[in-house]
Structure 1
Amino acid sequence: MQSLFRFDARETSLRREVLGGVVTFLTMSYIVFVNPAILSSAGLPFDAVAVATALAAAGFTIIMGLATNLPFALASGLGINAVVAFDIILGRRVSPDVGMACIVLEGAVAVVLVLAGLREAVVRAVPSSLKLAIGVGIGLFITLVGLRDGGIVVNDAATGIALGDLTSGPALIALAGILVALGLSAAGVRGSILLGIGTSTVLGLIFGVLDGPSAVARWPTSDDFSTIGDGLSSSALGDALTWTLVPVIFSLFMTDFFDTVGTAYAVTSAGGLLDEEGEIPKVRNLLLVDSLAAAGGGAMGVSSVTTYVESGAGVAEGARTGFASVVTGLLFALTIFFVPLIAVVGQGVAVSKDTTIHPAIAPALVMVGYLMIQLVQGIDWEQPEDAVPAFLVIIGIPLTFSISAGIGLGVFGYVVVMIARRRASEIHWIMWGLVPLFAAFFASDWLGAHVF
């Protein structure tokens, strides 16, 4: 243990690492409830996604701990899973297999760039304002999904969306969970997201909005592994490589890639784990595992698996080595036996003939949106080169219900403003390359009808 994880060199102990691993698991375990609920809305089987989510989180978290000796945990990314479910599968009317194939290809692109040492070029090519705006836009996107899943916001034929019936049972338990989560977060209580989910679930059971579990635990069945491998089929991969979906794959890569870099720096800095040059130790290994995890998540049918900023909760408890990740991974592995309890939290509630919502997970989605929107303060709103593309991305993602469309609007806005400011020579060639790519994306229906 000492030779593998170097407890003494990191000034830590076995007890502190175990405690840190447990805390990290508790703060991010909400994904085991939320991911199946979101993806099942797009037609994937709830129980199978729950089991695969836990297995993917367990496997890649342990691999990360062993490969980097850093206390990072990974799981299906909240935000990207909503994009896969609502933007790609439902919005573009493709099968779940094709949606997961997009994730496999996104992860494969990331792996190639890491192995080729090109990650720095991609990071430098995209303006920081766009990187931040993508996070803010996705935060608003997730918040909208959460408010709709809580019955707080509903579809409206006249206005598009409107305020729901806040006196209904689902809306009341969702609101209660959201307020508890926000209040606990403001008070500095760790695990506020999980406690918010717990509040909504308990109230839902008490007042009959949610049905109780059929059992506490059970052994997984063969059906619980049915999503694994579907995104790797040749037909799914072929259907993902279209004019419509290639920009989506790129935008998923951008989101995944920059989120990982930002998370890694934030957590290692908080734990005093940066090296003498102020860099993340074994950063190549970290990025490689994260990229492989993205592709692996698609292969397992659980959306992109990515490094979680909640790892910082374990670091705050004293975790300094990869052994904390091993502990977190083992705890995720145990959750595959508790699918009946997971199903209670993520169960759908029919509110009309064609509408089913998931009120108990609404607090998690709204809370993550709240945390992500704080990135907006890093954007320089005094400079048009930053402000205009950031504005277009931030409004474009939630209002079009498409992360790709929002990023495309931001790319066009950036290029136009840079030309107008006589700074066209400063535009990176990668950004120029995105212009025809997103033009084809916006014109995909016309191209499909008249060209292909």
Structure 2
Amino acid sequence: MDKFFKLTENNTNIRTEITAGITTFMTMAYILIVNPLTLSATGMDFGALFTATALSAIAATLVMALYANYPFALAPGMGLNAFFAYTVVLGMGYSWKFALTAVFLEGIIFIILTFLNIREAIINCIPLNIKHAVSVGIGLFIAFIGLVNAGIVKTGMFHVGNDKLGGIIVKLGDITSGAPLLALIGLVITGILLARNVKGALLIGIVVTTIIGIPMGVTQLPEGMKFISMPPSIAPIAFKFDFSNIFSLDMLIVLFTFLFVDMFDTVGTLVGVASKADMLDKEGKLPRAKQALFADAVGTTVGAILGTSTVTTYVESASGVAEGGRTGLTALTTAGMFAIALLFSPLFIMIPSAATAPALILVGLFMMSPIKRIDLEDFTEAIPAFLTIIMMPLTYSIAEGIVFGIISYILLKLLTGKGEQVSPIMYILGILFVLKFIMPH
């Protein structure tokens, strides 16, 4: 195992890797419920979606573990599943089979782009300062996800009597109520464990917070204390494709959106988490990027066949990296946990988001450290880096943060006589990003 995963070479061990893998799973296990809930709005079978979500996560994460040897986990992506359900099916009026066909085609295109090294070239062309900024932006984004999931912050409006004075992005939630209060308790507990250098602090924090949530009424125990159940069949949704509209303009727009968001979510996550874990080489490139990108291409294709939306590299992988995960053994452990979850689904379903929120918030802190490596003196570097960082949490999208960072980088370099610092691929990306804003949604 040491030889296969290069544990000693990466300054890690089996115990650390397994703890990291379980921690990553715990922070992303919510997808086993949230993805079926989201996609079932289209009329798809909830039970079948649960099984398909777990199986697609296992398949993609195993490729990441055994082929790329990276500690990153994959599963159907948030945001992409909402686009699938609410825009393509409920908004545009297409069947979920049409949407699944678009996801399948996206997966095939990604496999081709990966073999042609096009996606790897995109990763390599992103300037080093923006790569560091992506890590910091993901940190703020993941902390924001934790705060929102727990209800510590929420969206709202100013009210005076019956009049609405104006919208605000977020405001403080009711932190004395169940879930937000439990998350704050978990934050203190996990913080103490980290300060005392306890191994597996994030994982222990999640477990202890879940237990504390039982008397508080936040953690809901399974009915009849039944913790084991057989996974539902995927027959209602597997291999359900509709190729009758694949040459339509709508399919082109849907396919482009899936491709765009998944491409830059995955690139952003890989670059950001790898930057934090010091996995980038001296030139700021990610070794074995092709193998890592192959994992989500395979995952998306397999996921569509099984009956679920686009599979992408999960930003919650940062929680496992924060626990010391450095190799594919971390991802292998996460894949194993998804397999166990198929049989012990009630056990994992009972973990409330308030219990995983403290881990996400503190991972946000860990992801901030690359900010020290960003050149803040050169404004043609500092401004794009800042926009990358700030737009991720505010737009709730890694991809949008990268878009703002790259477009501002190109414009500032061009208009200050430093155009030679911009690679040809960056110019192509800039044009594609502008087209994305112009194209009808």
CA spacing shift, 1:120–1:128, aligned 2, 3 Å: same
CA distance in 1, matches of 2:252, 2:5: 50
Matching residue within 402, 410, 414 for 2:405: 410
Q: Note the alpha carbon deviations across 1:171-212, whole angstroms, 9 max, x for none.
A: 111111233233333433343333332233222211223322
1:147 equivalent in structure 2: 147
CA distance in 1, matches of 2:394, 2:331: 38
CA distance in 1, matches of 2:154, 2:59: 38
Q: Note the alpha carbon deviations across 1:252-285, whole angstroms, 9 max, x for none.
A: 3133135436767987979xxx9xxxx9997754
2:26 equivalent in structure 1: 30
CA distance in 1, matches of 2:238, 2:375: 43
TM-score (norm 2): 0.74
User: What secondary structure, in the 3-state scheme, does the structure 2 residue paired with 1:29 have?
Assistant: helix
Whether 1:292 aligns to 2:298 is yes
2:231 equivalent in structure 1: 220
Whether 1:256 aligns to 2:260 is no
1:345 equivalent in structure 2: 351
**Which segment drifts farther, 236-245 or 402-411?**
236-245
1:76 equivalent in structure 2: 75
Q: Which consecutive unaligned segments of at least 5 residues does structure 1 have?
A: 347-357
Q: Which consecutive unaligned segments of at least 5 residues does structure 2 have?
A: 159-166
CA distance in 2, matches of 1:240, 1:108: 19
User: What secondary structure, in the 3-state scheme, does the structure 2 residue paired with 1:76 have?
Assistant: strand
CA distance in 2, matches of 1:9, 1:266: 20
CA spacing shift, 1:195–1:89, aligned 2, 3 Å: farther
Let me know the Cα RMSD of the aligned residues.
Answer: 4.3
User: What secondary structure, in the 3-state scheme, does the structure 2 residue paired with 1:211 have?
Assistant: coil
User: Aligned-pair distance for 1:218?
Assistant: 1.0
1:195-210 equivalence runs, <5 A: 195-210=204-219
User: What secondary structure, in the 3-state scheme, does the structure 2 residue paired with 1:157 have?
Assistant: strand
CA spacing shift, 1:402–1:23, aligned 2, 3 Å: closer
Aligned length: 413
Matching residue within 172, 184, 191 for 2:193: 184
CA distance in 1, matches of 2:139, 2:245: 29
Q: Note the alpha carbon deviations across 1:306-360, whole angstroms, 9 max, x for none.
A: 38466668987xx98x7886666445422211111112114xxxxxxxxxxx433
CA distance in 2, matches of 1:203, 1:228: 39
User: Aligned-pair distance for 1:156?
Assistant: 1.2
Matched-pair contact (CA < 8 Å) for 1:56–1:305? no
Matched-pair contact (CA < 8 Å) for 2:54–2:339? yes
User: Aligned-pair distance for 1:11?
Assistant: 9.2
CA distance in 1, matches of 2:386, 2:301: 31
% identical equivalent positions: 27
* 2:427 aligned partner, one-letter code: W
Matched-pair contact (CA < 8 Å) for 2:114–2:120? no
CA distance in 1, matches of 2:151, 2:411: 40
User: Aligned-pair distance for 1:413?
Assistant: 1.2
CA distance in 2, matches of 1:208, 1:55: 31
TM-score (norm 1): 0.73
CA spacing shift, 1:400–1:311, aligned 2, 3 Å: closer
CA spacing shift, 1:65–1:442, aligned 2, 3 Å: closer
Whether 1:246 aligns to 2:252 is no
User: Aligned-pair distance for 1:30?
Assistant: 0.6
Matched-pair contact (CA < 8 Å) for 1:103–1:304? no
* 1:56 aligned partner, one-letter code: S
Matching residue within 370, 373, 376 for 1:375: 370
* 1:75 aligned partner, one-letter code: L
Whether 1:175 aligns to 2:184 is yes
CA spacing shift, 1:251–1:332, aligned 2, 3 Å: closer
1:68-107 equivalence runs, <5 A: 70=69, 72=71, 74-76=73-75, 81-84=77-80, 107=107
2:171 equivalent in structure 1: 162
CA spacing shift, 1:144–1:436, aligned 2, 3 Å: same
CA spacing shift, 1:288–1:345, aligned 2, 3 Å: same
Whether 1:419 aligns to 2:407 is no
